Structure 1
Amino acid sequence: MKHNFGAGPCILPKEVFQEASQAVLDFNNTGLSILEISHRSKEFEEVVVETERLVRELLNVPQNYSVLFLQGGASQQFAMVPLNLLPEGGKAAYFDTGVWATKAAKEAKKIGQVEIVASSSDKNYNYIPKGFEIPADSAYFHYTSNNTIYGTEVFEKPTTSVPTVVDMSSDILSRVIDITDYDLIYAGAQKNMGPAGVTLVIIKDEILGKSGRSLPSILDYEPHIKAGSMYNTPPVYSIYVSMLNLRWLKAKGGISVIEQENIVKARTLYDEIERNPFFKGTAAVEDRSRMNVTFVMENSDLEGDFLALAKERNLIGIKGHRSVGGFRASIYNALSITSINALVDTMREFEEKHK
């Protein structure tokens, strides 16, 4: 058995893979593959409708919010957000907590004025700044809720009266949130929702149409809303597999259930990192991500030996990002406690061999 700790595209439940693979051969007994059916067909329209319904149900999305399935990943949203929400001459507030937050701000600066309200770059993004102020005259405030590279997570939305935009690419659907705390949420699917290729966007309708910009239609949220995510040919297969995964999540009992599983998984691994004298965590304890656990060895010369042992034990994708080094275990929704225990057992085995 392979234990996939890769940061993304992530693992999905085995039953989702099985149903999705069957649909490649014959989708719903149509005699056609899901890869070849028309995106305008009744069969696929039903997929989009169900996928949106499941998103609304699982996240408790109010009716005054639109749900979109777009392309271009979070990186395209880095540009779409300011194009749609930042008026000419206006200012946006950005919170710098890692690589993806930095890239989002960089793109916004090409479109208008950006103020970085706080940053953790001084300590290689190993903590989440607290107690900063967000200018009340900002068109919106943007932050990244989970930082995959550095292993930090924002569990409480910073307090502000201005519209809030959040990139939830790597922790969407992993914990209970109040959608009404946010005005726009975007998330690349390839962590917890589905395969790469589709991006979930949830928008409070009333914030649109105020930038005064004349935009290319493909970069304007409103045409996508009016077309029901079908302004252009949608990523059919990615949406379909996301639907299957959302069904799986609902059948498990929903987000409150998966959140408790994620808490147990993260606690189990962090407890071993704290206990084992060969390892240490890199993120501030109070800001440790439940999705991406980052850690290093007390003796860095032994890292290669641990990676070799991990490979022997079928632990895949635990090498840390070059910005941090060491190790990173991405423990998204579909990763079971069995895999966490396999990693913990390997850490203990390494400890016994090197005492």
Structure 2
Amino acid sequence: MVARSDVHYFGAGPAPLPTNVLEEAAKVLLNYKDKGIGICEISHRSADANEILANTKTSLAKLLDIPDDYEILFLQSGGSGEFSAVVYNLVSIWVEKRRVKAAEQELGSSGSVKSWGDAVFKRLQKEVAEELKLDYLVTGSWSLKASQEAARLVGAEHVNVAVDSRKANDGKFGVIPPESEWTPSKKAAFAYFCDNETVDGVEFPAFPKSLEGEDAPLVVADMSSNFISRKVDVSKYAVIFGGAQKNIGNTGITIVILRKSLLPPASAAADPELLRALGLPVGPIVLDWPTIAKNNSLYNTLPIFDVWIAGQVMSGLESTYGVKKISGQEEVSNDKAAMIYGVLDKYPEVYRVVPHKSARSRMNICFRVGGGDAEKEKAFLTGAEKVGLLGLKGHRSVGGIRASKDNAVSLDGAKKLVAYLEGYAKAV
């Protein structure tokens, strides 16, 4: 039998988890807190479940220095579910703000009154048709899918692709064009980007400057694959979300961090009847952020075991890095990336890194072997597996090789991959 210590897994789907967390998980699955029942058997509304939720929230807030005016939600449906939730929730808020303003100006009505007579409705129809725009920065496969979901829900005429990086790279993803080349809307309901594209190996090096300032739109970021891997100024974002299955935990929960100003009473959603009358979608209740927040993420049955795993991972990072918080993990992530990119760049006749240097991901290192020769890449993967380096095959949509070095991939694992890359390059 192969021992866990003998292999290093670089897969980008469900990522590796810290061994000590899994060992403890094996215990609590059978007997949680010496209660005689396992953690998957306790009620999601029990005191124990609420304690797990509270502890996990506290750990995440400490790691990322999340301000007090932000809420942390735990949901299901994955990052892909949030592609839809972002549209449902933020478009509804945009419509309600416009309705309040129209009611005050057209009817002299109080903003608290849910009035939308003929004059207000016609005005809203015109504003939706002419002014509702959702900005998407399309820099890889996941942001493309998010923009396509938005177009499916509200219509392509309301989705503004402010940048499509394929147009600057011969039809392929792999760069992030200069912000001077972006074409944002004047008053977008929100601006959306994927901070790290797992399929294409592209990561934003920093928060886009054009999305800062008083006139900036609400900024939404998908951080599914680089969550808790580097320091983030949360205050610059309206919404951050991510599926847990990369750095945070196992598949099953999605985390959303959002400004409390987007929740009642500060913000209200539009009347569902009004949205339907305007031809806009009404989202399912399980993706409704106000409902989830009101119920402390327990509107439906939350997989508490998955929250517990995430909490254990986060508290482990707290213990490991202390006052450095997530900056300590960022240093390790940067070191691993520098080592691997260093050896790939050292042998350009053997390896070709796919994305441009200015947009290389620290988390998902995508490259080709032998110019993308299928047989050479197959041999490369076979050799890697023989020495315990697993999960290096690129995404099925693009092929090639991909080394995903999420947080639980150790420095020793990165060094072993570097040694293999060196040996392979010298042998061919």
TM-score in same-fold range (> 0.5) = yes
- Determine the structure 1 residue equivalent to 2:315: 247
* Equivalent residues in 2 for 1:189-228, closer than 5 Å: 189-208=244-263, 209-214=267-272, 215=282, 216-228=284-296
Q: TM-score, normalised by structure 2?
A: 0.80
The yes-or-no answer on 1:125 pairing with 2:183 is: no
State the AA in 2 paired with 1:141: A
Computing the radius of gyration from Cα coordinates, the structure with the larger value is 2
State the AA in 1 paired with 2:86: V
Secondary structure (helix, strand or coil) at the match of 1:8 reads: coil
Say if 1:96 and 1:120, in contact at 8 Å, map to a contact too: yes
When residues 107 and 256 of structure 1 are mapped into structure 2, their CA distance, relative to the original with a 3 A threshold, is same
> Which residue of the other structure, out of 45, 50, 56, is the alignment partner of 1:45?
50
Deviation of 1:121 (Å): 2.1
The yes-or-no answer on 1:284 pairing with 2:345 is: no
State the AA in 1 paired with 2:304: V
Q: Separation in 2 of the partners of 1:168 and 1:323? A: 21
Deviation of 1:81 (Å): 0.5
The percent of aligned pairs where both chains have the same amino acid is 34
Q: Separation in 2 of the partners of 1:322 and 1:39? A: 37
Say if 1:170 and 1:291, in contact at 8 Å, map to a contact too: yes
- Residue deviations 1:214-237 (CA, integer Å, cap 9, x gap): 244322110110111011110111
Q: Separation in 1 of the partners of 2:76 and 2:221? A: 17
Deviation of 1:305 (Å): 1.5
- Residue deviations 1:183-206 (CA, integer Å, cap 9, x gap): 000000100111000000001021
> Which residue of the other structure, out of 317, 320, 329, is the alignment partner of 2:403?
329
Root mean square deviation of aligned Cα:
1.3
Deviation of 1:92 (Å): 0.8
Q: Separation in 1 of the partners of 2:268 and 2:178? A: 30
> Which residue of the other structure, out of 336, 339, 344, is the alignment partner of 1:268?
339
When residues 211 and 15 of structure 1 are mapped into structure 2, their CA distance, relative to the original with a 3 A threshold, is same
Unaligned runs of 5+ in 2: 1-5, 96-127, 273-281
Q: Separation in 1 of the partners of 2:37 and 2:300? A: 22
Larger CA deviation: 156-165 vs 238-247: 156-165
State the AA in 1 paired with 2:173: Y
- Determine the structure 2 residue equivalent to 1:304: 378
- Determine the structure 1 residue equivalent to 2:89: 84
- Residue deviations 1:39-74 (CA, integer Å, cap 9, x gap): 111111100000011111111111111100100001
> Which residue of the other structure, out of 201, 206, 214, is the alignment partner of 1:151?
201
Secondary structure (helix, strand or coil) at the match of 1:202 reads: strand
Q: Separation in 1 of the partners of 2:291 and 2:161? A: 31
Secondary structure (helix, strand or coil) at the match of 2:13 reads: coil
- Determine the structure 2 residue equivalent to 1:185: 240
Q: Separation in 1 of the partners of 2:338 and 2:233? A: 24
State the AA in 2 paired with 1:18: E
- Determine the structure 1 residue equivalent to 2:118: none
Deviation of 1:213 (Å): 4.8
When residues 213 and 59 of structure 1 are mapped into structure 2, their CA distance, relative to the original with a 3 A threshold, is farther
Aligned residues: 354
Q: TM-score, normalised by structure 1?
A: 0.97
> Which residue of the other structure, out of 35, 40, 43, is the alignment partner of 1:35?
40
- Residue deviations 1:88-136 (CA, integer Å, cap 9, x gap): 5221101111111111111111332110000112331111122224223
Q: Separation in 2 of the partners of 1:205 and 1:334? A: 32
Deviation of 1:351 (Å): 2.3
Q: Separation in 2 of the partners of 1:136 and 1:206? A: 22
Say if 2:160 and 2:184, in contact at 8 Å, map to a contact too: no
- Determine the structure 1 residue equivalent to 2:3: none
Unaligned runs of 5+ in 1: none
* Equivalent residues in 2 for 1:105-120, closer than 5 Å: 105-112=147-154, 113-120=158-165
Secondary structure (helix, strand or coil) at the match of 1:35 reads: helix
- Determine the structure 2 residue equivalent to 1:163: 218
- Determine the structure 1 residue equivalent to 2:119: none
State the AA in 1 paired with 2:393: K
Say if 2:392 and 2:403, in contact at 8 Å, map to a contact too: yes
Say if 1:83 and 1:213, in contact at 8 Å, map to a contact too: no
Question: Which protein is richer in helix relative to its size?
Answer: 2
Deviation of 1:324 (Å): 2.7
Task: List, as ranges, runs of 4+ consecutive aligned residues in structure 1 with deviation greater than 4 Å.
Answer: none
Q: Separation in 1 of the partners of 2:336 and 2:60? A: 24
The yes-or-no answer on 1:55 pairing with 2:60 is: yes
Secondary structure (helix, strand or coil) at the match of 2:175 reads: coil
* Equivalent residues in 2 for 1:2-21, closer than 5 Å: 2-21=7-26
Say if 1:94 and 1:141, in contact at 8 Å, map to a contact too: yes
Say if 1:83 and 1:211, in contact at 8 Å, map to a contact too: no
- Residue deviations 1:308-337 (CA, integer Å, cap 9, x gap): 111111111101113332200000111111
> Which residue of the other structure, out of 291, 304, 320, is the alignment partner of 1:236?
304
